[in-house]
Amino acid sequence: MTFCAPQGFRLAGLACGLKRDGRSDIALVVSDRPCAVAGVFTTNRVKAAPVLRDQALLSRPEPLARAVLINTGSANACTGQRGLDDAHASAALVADLLGCQPEEVLTLSTGVIGLPLNMEAMRRGIVALVPALRADGWPEAAAAIMTTDTRPKLASARLSGGAVIAGMAKGAGMIAPHMATMLAVIVTDAALPAAQLGGLLRTSVEASFNRIVVDGDMSTNDTVLLLANGAAGANVPDPDEFQTALTAVCTELAQAIVRDGEGATKFVTVEVTGAATKTDARAVARQIAISPLVKTAFYGADANWGRILAAAGYSGVDLDPARLALWLLDAQGAPAIQLVAGGEPAEYDERAAIALLQTPAWGVRLDLGQGTARSHVWTCDLSHDYVTINGHYRT
């Protein structure tokens, strides 16, 4: 799909020495005019300095933003007062170069927890970023925010009135529902007030970024920001149309994170139907999606459905095992093979099941037989490469 860039935004990404391998490691997103802004942040009680700073800035009445600075290499988490001071200093330098207030510059970080920012490299990078800003700088910025990602993640949508929503994200590991280490910056040239942006963003995040699991670990830095500068005109878009488009952009980015999960070889949709409540359905789906035994079976193309039922059984939801039914779904989400009926093995072709599980995208559907509520989670398998990547993350 062709990527569309909103009006009035410029981006840049480059290497300044934050990563030891010389890859791009710092990015800047700038609006030519002040933006209404909203954000959703990690629910982890251990929060990085940039998260604390951004949350404080966005808690002000009618906050405005002109820029977002993103660094890799260091998460700037568990770095105490020094971490907060470094985040403030980085924002102040950006503001000075752009001619705006430091409070209009948001900061995001990703990388190793407990490692302070290399401020010499940060200053060098910020000074180089500003003259490099371009309206078509999206690919460079998206590449500069990657850590264990293998590819940049971009998505966009155009509204009927001509306004555009576009975003970039990073994430491959430490991904779990309720904000999962992922970062996303989404911008639009539509005219929307901050009071409206917050609700729109929370709804879209709940339907996208809060539905993904790679490994079940929650980051200290997870952030999704939404900036609206109104450069496409003063006409406020239809809220329903904007919500649909925003959710589509968020969903494309969220699914791209799962598809690029650390060591992942399969994209798996976990559906739970027939639940008494939506909360129950989601709890069961999440438990299945984070189970190491289930995820390793996904990797091995092993139709070991007992692991799925066992994970559902310890989800905390009150289940009747005799009512459970389980299907394998094809890549389009249609039921392909029934594995369990009435809590017991169904007659199915084991070879056909293995063949389906060997394909790159499929799903499972577990019906609880208790009601009409349903939910889903997007996840991936757990391979040898995941252990290799994370066993040597710092070394």
Identity of the residue numbered 343: G
Q: What distance in Å separates the CA atoms of residue 161 and residue 242, rounded to the nearest whole number?
A: 10
Least reliable range by pLDDT among 172-181, 240-249, 268-277, 357-366: 172-181
Strands 105-109 and 153-158: unpaired
Q: What distance in Å separates the CA atoms of residue 283 and residue 296, rounded to the nearest whole number?
A: 20
**3-state secondary structure (DSSP) of residue 320:** coil
Of 244, 310, 288, residue with least CA distance to 377: 288
Q: What distance in Å separates the CA atoms of residue 274 and residue 283, rounded to the nearest whole number?
A: 13
| Count of all residues that appear for the chain in the document | 395
Q: What distance in Å separates the CA atoms of residue 377 and residue 269, rounded to the nearest whole number?
A: 6
Outline where 234-371 has alpha helix (H): 239-259, 278-290, 292-299, 305-313, 350-357
Least reliable range by pLDDT among 347-356, 358-367, 376-385: 376-385
Within 13 Å of residue 293, how many CA atoms lie on the same side as its CB?
10
Q: What distance in Å separates the CA atoms of residue 270 and residue 8, rounded to the nearest whole number?
A: 39
- Residue 389 has a pLDDT of 59
Which of the residues 79, 110, 148, 181 is marked catalytic?
A: 181
How confident is the model over 359-385, as a mean pLDDT?
A: 93
Strands 153-158 and 164-170: antiparallel
Of 285, 258, 290, residue with least CA distance to 374: 285
Say if residue 166 is exposed, middle or buried (CB neighbours under 10 Å; 0-12, 13-18, 19+). buried
- Residue 391 has a pLDDT of 67
- Kindly tell me if the per-residue pLDDT of 21 is higher than 90: no
Written as six digits, the tokens of 109 are 């970080």
Q: Where in the chain is the domain with CATH 3.60.70.12?
A: 9-259
Q: What distance in Å separates the CA atoms of residue 214 and residue 299, rounded to the nearest whole number?
A: 13
| Greatest Cα pair distance in the chain | 69
CATH among 3.40.50.2300, 3.60.70.12, 1.20.1260.10, 3.30.565.10 for 9-259:
3.60.70.12
Record the pTM. 0.91
- Residue 1 has a pLDDT of 65
- Kindly tell me if the per-residue pLDDT of 12 is higher than 70: yes
Q: What distance in Å separates the CA atoms of residue 70 and residue 366, rounded to the nearest whole number?
A: 40
- Residue 180 has a pLDDT of 44
Percentage of residues of the chain with pLDDT beyond 70? 94
79: annotated active-site residue = no
Do 107 and 90 contact (CB within 8 A), yes or no? yes
Q: What distance in Å separates the CA atoms of residue 36 and residue 110, rounded to the nearest whole number?
A: 24
- Residue 179 has a pLDDT of 43
Residue 142: partners with Cβ closer than 8 Å, 6 or more residues away:
13, 27, 152, 153, 154, 168, 170
Written as six digits, the tokens of 64 are 């405005």
How far does CA 345 lie from the centroid of its chain? 36
Of 212, 289, 221, residue with least CA distance to 257: 212
Instruction: Convert the pLDDT of each residue in 272-308 to its tens digit.
Output: 999 999 999 999 999 999 999 999 999 999 999 999 9
Q: Residue 212 — φ and ψ, nearest 5°?
A: -115, 145
Instruction: Convert the pLDDT of each residue in 219-259 to its tens digit.
Output: 788 899 999 999 999 888 999 999 999 999 999 999 999 88
Q: Higher model confidence: residue 366 or residue 222? A: 366
Q: Where in the chain is the domain with CATH 3.10.20.340?
A: 267-391
Outline where 216-291 has alpha helix (H): 239-259, 278-290
Q: Is 267-391 assigned to CATH 3.40.605.10?
A: no
